[in-house]
Structures are given as structure tokens and as C-alpha cells.
């Protein structure tokens, strides 16, 4: 379990590839979610961004976690666009800063990186929990990860708890009235639709959790 309990660059890169694969599979669903309360581009935007990340495999896959996270951030910043591009860019950039140049992260280091990412999104987007944004997925996810960590959980357990909480958080955005982003233009009419950015956040975290649960490649 020891090697499985640290996240090195090779393993993080596999997580990034899984994020790209899951976003690709679910891009139509993300775009459909963005139709009634946005402009119907979220799945397209994010898929374009993650495909651009995959194209940097050669440069990024052999790097330490911080450098990979920074590469993901810069690529998403320059390719995703919309509101979510800069927000995801900030999220991964803050994660990168928290990871520093350590060759690997343990569960505690990863949770600190997620905390930093969430703080960055809140600063940049000014959204609070309940505003019907990606913050509604990341806030319970970070809380659940912190809790599982305190209970002695390792990487895989912490990420599994985070993914489940993010999924529940994304579903809980359905009745909310949007107060940030494009969906807020609809006012009360934004209620009754699940937020696309909260949904993609849960997809990203679930992708990480899947890879963490698999045996590390030797």
C-alpha cells in the first residue's frame, strides 16, 4: 500500500488522461446541461481544453506533480475559454503552487492542494456555496476529503470520499437559483437544472479517484 499511498507525476499524469477520457465521453451531457441555463458550450469547451492537455503528453507526463498541474492549468487557461476556462485554470494553478516541486504528494499534500484550488476559484469567481457553480461541488468534496484524511484514510479513500461528495454536491445544485455566471441572468428560471461546471468538477474528481483505486503501474 505504501507506494500506492503517494501520488507521483506518472500516476498524476494517468489521472489527467482519465479526466480527458471521461470529459470526452460525457461532453454531450455537459453541453446539454449548459443549454437551459447557459449557452450550451461547457462540454465542448472543456473537451477542447483536455484534448490540448493530452497533446502535451511528451512535455508533461514525465514531470513532477506541480509541473504537471501547472501545465494543465496553463493549457486550460488558453484553450477552454468562457467562465470555466479561467476558473479551472486558477484551480489547477493554485494546486500546482501548493504541490511545489515535490516529487510526490501524500494524501495530506493532495488535500492541501485541493483546498488551495478551491480558495483560488472562490477568490477569482466570487462564488460562495449555494450560488449554483462549481464551488458547490468542490466545497463538500474538500470537506469530505479533509474528514477522511483525519480518519486515517489514504489517497484512494480520500479521493473516493471527495468524488462521492462532489457528485452529491453537483446534484444538489439542481434546485438552486444561480447567483454567479451566465446562469444568473435567468434568475429564478435557473432553478430545476443541474449546474454544468459542478458536474464537470465531479467528473474530474471521479476520474482521479478511479485511477487511485487501480494498482499503480510498475
Residue 90 in the binding site for ligand ADP (CB under 6 A): no
Nearest approach in angstroms of CB 161 to ligand ADP is 21
Q: What are phi and psi of 8, to 5 degrees?
A: -95, 180
Alpha helices in the chain (DSSP H): 9-25, 27-37, 42-54, 57-60, 65-79, 84-99, 107-125, 135-150, 155-171, 196-213
How many C-alpha atoms does 116 have within 13 Å on its Cβ side?
19
Residue 42 in the binding site for ligand ADP (CB under 6 A): yes
Report what 120 binds from ligand ADP, Mg ion, none; CB cut-off 5-8 Å by kind.
none
Nearest alpha carbon to residue 33 among 44, 17, 22:
44
Nearest approach in angstroms of CB 124 to Mg ion is 17
Nearest approach in angstroms of CB 115 to ligand ADP is 16
Is the distance from CB of 127 to CB of 179 less than 8 angstroms?
yes
Candidate residues 106, 182, 186, 191; the one interacting with ligand ADP per rule CB under 6 A: 182
Nearer residue to ligand ADP within complex by CB, 112 or 180: 180
Total residues at interface with ligand ADP (CB under 6 A): 24
Residue 198 in the binding site for ligand ADP (CB under 6 A): yes
The site map against Mg ion for 40-69 (x = CB under 5 A) is -xx---------------------------
Quote the cell numbers at residue 115.
483546498
Cα(210)–Cα(218) distance, integer angstroms: 17
Please state, in angstroms and as integers, the Cα–Cα distance from residue 146 to each residue in 20, 118, 143, following that order: 26, 13, 5
Q: Which residues bind ligand ADP (CB under 6 A)?
A: 34, 38-39, 41-42, 45, 82-84, 87, 121, 125-127, 133-135, 180-182, 195-198
Amino acid at each position: 500500500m505504501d507506494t500506492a499511498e503517494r501520488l507521483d507525476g506518472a500516476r498524476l499524469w494517468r489521472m489527467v488522461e482519465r479526466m480527458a477520457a471521461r470529459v470526452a465521453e460525457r461532453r454531450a451531457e455537459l453541453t446539454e446541461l449548459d443549454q437551459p441555463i447557459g449557452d450550451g458550450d461547457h462540454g465542448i469547451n472543456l473537451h477542447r481544453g483536455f484534448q490540448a492537455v493530452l497533446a502535451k503528453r511528451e512535455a508533461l507526463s514525465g514531470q513532477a506533480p506541480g509541473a504537471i498541474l501547472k501545465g494543465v492549468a496553463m493549457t486550460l487557461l488558453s484553450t477552454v475559454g468562457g467562465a470555466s476556462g479561467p476558473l479551472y485554470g486558477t484551480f489547477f494553478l493554485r494546486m500546482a503552487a501548493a504541490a511545489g516541486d515535490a516529487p510526490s504528494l501524500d494524501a495530506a499534500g493532495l488535500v492541501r492542494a485541493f483546498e488551495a484550488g478551491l480558495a483560488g476559484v472562490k477568490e477569482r469567481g466570487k462564488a460562495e456555496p449555494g450560488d449554483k457553480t462549481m464551488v458547490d461541488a468542490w466545497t463538500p468534496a474538500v470537506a469530505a476529503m479533509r474528514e477522511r484524511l483525519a480518519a486515517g484514510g489514504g489517497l484512494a479513500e480520500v479521493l473516493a470520499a471527495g468524488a462521492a461528495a462532489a457528485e452529491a454536491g453537483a446534484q444538489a445544485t439542481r434546485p438552486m437559483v444561480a447567483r454567479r455566471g451566465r446562469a444568473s441572468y435567468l434568475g429564478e428560471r435557473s432553478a430545476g437544472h443541474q449546474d454544468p461546471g459542478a458536474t464537470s468538477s465531479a467528473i474530474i474528481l471521479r476520474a482521479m479517484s478511479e485511477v487511485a483505486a487501480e494498482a499503480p503501474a510498475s
